[in-house]
Amino acid sequence: MKVAIASDHRGFALKGKIITTLSQLGHESLDLGTDSSDSVDYPDFASKVAVVISQSRADRGILICGTGIGMCIVANKYPHVRAACCHDDLTAEMSRRHNDTNVLCLSSDLLGDRLVTRMVEIWLATEFEAGRHSRRIDKIEKIEEERLKTLE
């Protein structure tokens, strides 16, 4: 699986650890920055991953900032992106199982390394259940299509 990943300055160290985990799991990483712990604006990096996911140039994306919330807000502005800010094993699993998320947003300040590793493993391994959940995802996609038409 190809996973686009980015962080702001607060998530920089954790991003490196996640890239190592992705490699150990046999996945390809597309590192879209930031490249240091120097202060940057999270919307710039959330947008980079969201564009790649929106254009189907990667299978999934991971975004990291202090809380994960800002990254999630930005990512969900893009078509075909379903980002979730997860904080434990269950939210990581259910975001995939029921919502078919393609972007995982994480907090560098509130989550420990072992928990993050476990969440990434679960999120990558969990399949979308489809069934009744497909109907709901279809409705989300229809809302996106209608919004895009009104912006043209």
What are the catalytic residues?
65, 98
CA distance 124 to 32: 19
Quick one: which of 108, 52, 118 has its CA closest to 85?
A: 108
CA distance 98 to 114: 24
- The sign of the torsion formed by the CA atoms of 52, 58, 64, 70 equals positive
